[in-house]
Amino acid sequence: MGKTPIGSSPDSEIGIKVHSRQPTPSPNDKFRYEAATPPPPHLSNKKWFPWLVPTIITINIVVFIIVMYINNCPSNSEDKCLGEPTLGRFAFQSTHENPLLGPSADTLLKLGALEMNKVVEDHQVWRLLSCMWLHAGAFHVLANMLSLLFVGIRLEQEFGFVRIGLLYIMSGIGGSLLSSLFVRNTISVGASGALFGLLGAMLSELLVNWTIYENKLESLLSLVLIILINMAVGILPHVDNFAHIGGFLTGFLLGFVLLIRPQYGWISKRNAPYLRGTSPKSKYKAYQCVFLVVSVIILTIGIYYWPGSAPSRRGWK
């Protein structure tokens, strides 16, 4: 009672076409099936070439050299300059004025150091960003750049220059904002806010991708120890710990979204029909979106509501 398929002889078997609810497989179905469910993140061997972090380090060193050239201690300071016979105009201010072997506070302020009154009264908002590229001295820039090399290279290899660059800049601004809120009538310079943002992002990355780590507790304890040691540095004189905290919180919140890896069982809506008995599963979970919203709110509040000024002291970040 069935129809004879076109192109067959009357003696051939009768063909009955059955319509299934599942799409008819095509030669590309196998590829689409495999693409629908990504391999576990820890099985991916893709590594990004780390060029951004070395570039940032180079820029910071070059900027410090330029600052020392402009500072010109022998011509602008009444005190004896450190290393003047050898370094000439690159000589450092006296250790009494700057124990970190660097320029004067006036030079740093002129070139973009963070100072509350300059930002609020003179509307020099650009100082929130420019202070990240200035350092108080040779010891300061050396410590920060070694830390950036240690922390940043691994992150850039894992997540690429776009996300790490965004984390670095946003964390630096977040650190500057909190510093402006609590450390006023003083100057503050350094990349520590951005560096602490990367540390905070490492912590949130560990938590949000917890299932893919083998030595979970060991990794967590090691990272927490590094963070605590760096936070302890903020107790020392002339260290702006508010910038550290602000950068850390900013990086921690953004890391939950920017450093998320595809979770097990992630299936896109487009590819779900090719998998029997499955429904689309989001790449991101609800709490990750919550952290994104919270981080945006915190940054917005910091930008809009930082208050007036009050006396304080100098701070090196």
Nearest to 66 by CA among 123, 129, 130: 130
Per the residue annotation, which of 135, 147, 176, 244 is the catalytic one? 244
Find the angle CA(167)-CA(280)-CA(296) to the nearest 5 degrees.
25
Q: Is 192 a catalytic residue?
A: yes
Distance of CA 165 to the CA centre of its chain: 6
Largest CA distance in the chain: 112
Retrieve residue 108's tokens.
């740093």
Measure the CA dihedral 260/209/280/162, to 10°.
Answer: 10
Q: Name, in order, each residue with C-beta under 8 angstroms of 23's C-beta and a sequence gap of 6 or more.
A: 29, 273, 274
Every domain of the chain and the residues it spans: 46-310
Retrieve residue 307's tokens.
């208050």
In this prediction, residue 8 carries a pLDDT of 44
Q: Name, in order, each residue with C-beta under 8 angstroms of 134's C-beta and a sequence gap of 6 or more.
A: 63, 64, 67, 108, 111, 112, 113, 189, 190
Q: Is 238 a catalytic residue?
A: no
Note down pLDDT in tens along the chain; length 317 residues: 554 444 444 444 333 343 444 444 454 444 443 444 444 444 445 789 999 999 999 999 999 999 999 999 999 888 899 998 999 999 999 988 888 899 999 999 999 999 888 887 888 899 999 999 999 999 999 989 998 998 999 999 999 999 999 999 999 999 998 888 887 778 899 999 999 999 999 998 888 777 776 677 777 787 888 888 777 766 665 678 889 999 999 999 889 888 877 655 555 555 444 445 555 556 666 776 777 787 778 767 766 665 543 334 445 55
> Amino acid letter at 282?
S
For domain 46-310, give the CATH superfamily: Rhomboid-like (1.20.1540.10)
Per the residue annotation, which of 192, 222, 279, 295 is the catalytic one? 192
